Amino acid sequence: MLLCIDCGNTNTVFSIWDGREFLCTLRTSTHHARTADAYFTWYSTLIKHYGIDTDITDVIISSTVPRVVFNLRVFSDRFFGCRPMVVGRPECLLPIQARVDAGTAVGPDRLVNSAGAFDRHGGDLIVVDFGTATTFDVVAEDGAYVGGVIAPGVNLSLEALHMGAAALPHVDISRPDKVIGTNTVQCIQSGVFWGYVGLVTGITERIRKEYARPMRIIGTGGLAPLFAQGDMLFDTIEDDLTMHGLTVIHAYNKENGIAHEQ
């Protein structure tokens, strides 16, 4: 069985892939100081709670936070006796190219999303991921990641308003029925929600114009369903896209790589 680990700047997600389906998905906050033993305590408690029969033989990691990888390597080695594949390391091959400026270190999550989306849908895609940042990844006809857009994430924007303005409270995102808010909370929710609808619509329209070929738009990340409500922002929404990309990259390396033998 394969343990897929996706570390974002806010959350770290573990999913167990048995070759056919994901048996479970576990989520914790990302914290670079978490030790291998602490990961295992958390992991084994939840696995026991869900009563899942696991036999982890392989681990693959994508991390946007470089510092967490060391402890996850120790975790993988100590508790599963295996050396993890780490997306972005030279020994981890990718089934897709990254055609970007020389010296650019593309976020591994964006490469994983591109690989996962290309595997499911073929090329000419825009993948929109609502994480800590809201990212747009453009996937070419041959599956290559050819660039995109990075915008501040929804929760970061809400937090920035609260941090920067003494009279603005912390507000959770939700979809307001109206645009014109009649109290402070509604005004903030309207600004961020409808602002993001405008951002996604405007950026995808501009990408389509610049790319000059028909493209499909895939939404992913925890907030994608909220933004899809009532507005035709996406062709499909897939909450497991990053995890699927990790299984695709793992399988590709099993067939073509040497990473797993090191």
Q: Which residues are catalytically annotated?
A: 109
Count the Cβ atoms, other than its own, within 10 Å of residue 198. 10
Q: Which two tokens stand for residue 197?
A: 């609808």
Binding letters toward ligand PAU, positions 153-192, x by CB under 6 A? ----------------------------------------
Element at 128 (helix H, strand E): strand 125-130
24 is in an annotated binding site: no
Under 8 Å between Cβ of 85 and 253: yes
Q: Is residue 4 part of an annotated ligand binding site? A: no
Verify binding: residue 11, ligand ATP, rule CB under 6 A. yes
Of 71, 76, 114, 132, the one binding ligand PAU by CB under 6 A: 132
CB of 256 to ligand ATP, least distance (A): 28
Cβ–Cβ under 8 Å, residues 194 and 179: yes
Total residue length of the chain: 262
In whole angstroms, what is the distance from residue 62 CA to residue 243 CA?
10
Sign of the C-alpha dihedral computed for residues 139, 144, 147 and 149 taken in this order = positive
Q: Exposed, middle or buried: residue 59 (CB in 10 Å: 0-12, 13-18, 19+)? A: buried
9 binds ligand PAU (CB under 6 A): yes
- Is residue 109 marked as binding? yes
Q: Could you give the CA distance from residue 90 to residue 259 in angstroms, rounded to a whole number?
A: 9
Q: Which is nearer to ligand ATP, 97 or 190 (CB)?
A: 190
Which 90-109 residues touch ligand PAU, going by CB under 6 A? 106-107, 109
Is 238 a binder of ligand PAU (CB under 6 A)? Answer: no
Asked if 147 interacts with ligand PAU (CB under 6 A), we say no
Site for K ion in 4-33 (CB under 5 A): 8
Interface ranges with ligand PAU (CB under 6 A): 8-9, 64, 106-107, 109-110, 131-133, 135, 150
Interface ranges with K ion (CB under 5 A): 8, 131
Binding residues for ATP: 6-13, 132
